[in-house]
Chains A and B, each alone.
Chain A
């Protein structure tokens, strides 16, 4: 099997030849492994099974507002500030009141330049490794970029119609973006955007069912209508609401957050027959500050607990961020190859 076949087989909850693996890998870690390498080079160098393409950080235009403070205006019209990880974190939303929607001009998802990077990935990897394209969750876009956290949460209680109206804009954009990605050759959609915090979901089950799940289902239904599977990412403790995500029809769930007490063995037993589990070697602890042997052991445990019968893509618990020790990441990749050959024999 090649990487693409491995990932697709796992997403169908079947056994590939070995447990698949791919990651988003920060530049600092890449430098520690293969100096000067691009993310694509590292994917080939380590023979990873897929490559992730992040919509928000790679493909959107940003207008510089304050260079010293690293503040930019994003394509939605709000302000974002960059962290030391080069992740844009929202500062000021695009839509401050409902009347702003009356004159709001949606960015154009059909602009060619958005897909230049994806085209390169398709040219280099199509048919060999899974091309996994990020689509930001409608809830996350609405909450972070469009209405802002406070505005969004307030509207959930005080003005639900405002959110419904905002969602129409965002869905229109994202569905056209997904259509374009499909036409370019995407293999898997990765719907990023957290629904939960470490201790609990961000909103009640009632609000999850009312506001979060329906737009996710629309994204998933569209992807499926075009034959493309979907992995949903959310950090945090999703035990109280995991079924709402699965009922939306997703094919994979990432990362089964160990920091939030999500045990991947329990997840396997509870819903591992319905969704492919993607995770969950800790990038908060072992990959950052553990020994290579600890990483090896933890990776083995993840595969032992969740690999049986397929339906596992072994990944970190978020990403290979700049704090990860490159040697530890290499130990994880090596351990997946060592322990992840089907049929598994780890018990």
Chain B
């Protein structure tokens, strides 16, 4: 019998080997993918998020927890789509045009994937046209845009305008985030939501699709 609480704690402590071993064992023991996610990885990431919020965890701890989750997902993702293992939804994400920072975006991706999202990473320096093209062809639920630079924040607004002009705005929820961004600014540019960091992004995304 696999103790999924141990998997949860392996995520919290960033123990890659234990996370992998327990995930493999759980799959072999016919634990459903949904249970492995919802009773192991997701509560683990939730605790990581809470520790980050409380100021007990910082970037290094987020990274090693993300490593543990990524290792577990290597074994789980090939099985997604099978019974009891549906994704939370599809999430498109990229760093806005003019900005090539990706650490924050990658932490958000780690949190989303660990919470059961199917994530497509458009990379860095993504133009409004590239965002629009990806939205039009991907059938995604949420588009996330990251900006670390004050100067490039305006390109998130430009992308939203481009989505409207292309008739795509109503097809997707839009989330924005990054160091200089605020919820007031997100509202002002017409985004649906703002997330100040990776752990918050997973919570906000679930709320946006009514699965929180």
Within 8 A of B (CB), among A181-210: 197-204, 207
**B61 contacts the other chain (CB 8 A):** yes
Chain B residues with a Cβ closer than 8 Å to the other chain, count:
27
Q: Mark A204-226, 1 if CB is under 8 A from B, else 0.
A: 10010000000000000000000
Q: Mark B53-76, 1 if CB is under 8 A from A, else 0.
A: 001101111111001000000000
**B106 contacts the other chain (CB 8 A):** yes
B196 closest partner in A (C-beta): A199
Q: Mark A141-155, 1 if CB is under 8 A from B, else 0.
A: 000000001100110
A153→B66 CA distance, assembly (Å) = 12
* Complex contact A284–B150 (CB within 8 A): yes
**A259 contacts the other chain (CB 8 A):** yes
* Complex contact B98–A198 (CB within 8 A): no
**B180 contacts the other chain (CB 8 A):** yes
* Complex contact A201–B58 (CB within 8 A): yes
**A233 contacts the other chain (CB 8 A):** no
Within 8 A of B (CB), among A20-70: none
**B179 contacts the other chain (CB 8 A):** yes
Residues of B close to A202: CB separation below 8 A? 58-59
**B99 contacts the other chain (CB 8 A):** yes
Residues of A close to B150: CB separation below 8 A? 259, 284, 288, 323
A157→B64 CA distance, assembly (Å) = 8
Residues of B close to A150: CB separation below 8 A? 63, 103, 106
Residues of A close to B60: CB separation below 8 A? 153-154, 156-157, 203-204, 207
**A105 contacts the other chain (CB 8 A):** no
A91→B100 CA distance, assembly (Å) = 8
**B14 contacts the other chain (CB 8 A):** yes
**B165 contacts the other chain (CB 8 A):** no
Within 8 A of A (CB), among B138-170: 149-152
Task: From the candidates A81, A85, A203, name the one contacting B58 in the complex (CB within 8 A).
Answer: A203
Given A89-B101, A154-B63, A198-B180, A321-B58 contact (CB < 8 Å): no
A334→B61 CA distance, assembly (Å) = 46
* Complex contact B67–A200 (CB within 8 A): no
Question: Which residues of B are in contact with A by a Cβ distance under 8 Å?
Answer: 14, 55-56, 58-64, 67, 98-101, 103, 106, 124-125, 149-152, 179-180, 196-197
Additional pairs, 19, CB under 8 Å, beyond known A149-B103, A207-B58: A81-B124, A83-B149, A84-B98, A84-B151, A89-B100, A91-B100, A150-B103, A154-B64, A157-B63, A158-B14, A158-B64, A199-B197, A200-B55, A203-B58, A204-B56, A204-B58, A240-B55, A284-B150, A323-B150
Question: Which residues of A are in contact with B by a Cβ distance under 8 Å?
Answer: 81, 83-85, 89, 91, 149-150, 153-154, 156-158, 197-204, 207, 240, 259, 284, 288, 321-323
